[in-house]
Amino acid sequence: MFTIAFVGAGSVEFTRQLLRDITSFPELADVEFSLHDIDSERLEVAAGLARLIAPSARVRTSSVRREALEGADVVVNMVAIGGHEATLRDFDVPESFGLRQTIGDTLGIGGIFRGLRTFPFLDGLAADVLAVCPDAWLLNYTNPMAMNIQYLATVAPRVKAVGLCHSVHWTVHDLSALVGVPHDEVDFLSAGVNHQAWILRWEHEGRSLYPALDAAIEASPELARRVRVDMYRRLGFYPTETSEHSSEYVPWYLGHRSEVDRLRIPVRDYATISAENVATYEKTRDALASGDALPPLEDEAVEYAPQVIHSLVTGQRRTIQVNVANHGLISNLPAGMAVEVPATLDRFGVHPHAVGALPRQLAALNRSFLNVVDLTVAAVVEGDPAHVRHAALCDPATAAALTAGQISELVVAMTAAHGDLLPASVR
Predicted confidence at residue 291, as pLDDT, reads: 87
Encoded amino acid at 46, one letter: A
On the CB side of 99, CA atoms within 13 Å amount to 31
Choose, from 166, 173, 183, 256, the residue flagged as catalytic.
Answer: 166
Q: How far apart are CA 230 and CA 173, in angstroms?
A: 19
226 close to 202: Cβ distance less than 8 angstroms: no
Give how far Cα 215 sits from Cα of 178, 218, 237, 316, Å: 11, 5, 15, 38
Omega before 239 cis (within 30°)? no
- pLDDT block averages, 10 residues each, the chain of length 427: 95 89 93 96 94 93 97 97 95 97 97 98 98 98 98 98 96 96 96 98 97 96 94 98 96 97 95 91 90 76 90 97 98 98 98 98 98 98 98 98 98 97 94
Cβ neighbours of 370 (radius 10 Å): 23
> How far apart, in Å, are the Cα atoms of 377 and each of 57, 413, 426?
39, 20, 11
The pTM score is 0.96
Closest C-alpha to 374, from 360, 390, 385, 363: 390
CA 329, 147, 382, 364: dihedral to nearest 10 degrees?
A: 60
The answer to whether residue 387 is catalytic is no
Q: Please list the helix, strand and coil fractions of the chain in percent, rounded to the nearest 5, in that order.
A: 50, 15, 30
**CATH fold label, 82-103+164-267+303-427:** LDH C-terminal domain-like (3.90.1820)
Count the alpha carbons within 13 Å of 300 in the hemisphere toward its beta carbon.
Answer: 5
- Taking the C-alpha atoms of residue 64 and residue 67, their distance in angstroms, rounded to an integer, is 5
Domain locations in the chain?
A: 82-103+164-267+303-427
Helix (H, G, I), strand (E, B) or coil at 421: helix
Closest CA to 194 of 144, 234, 139: 144
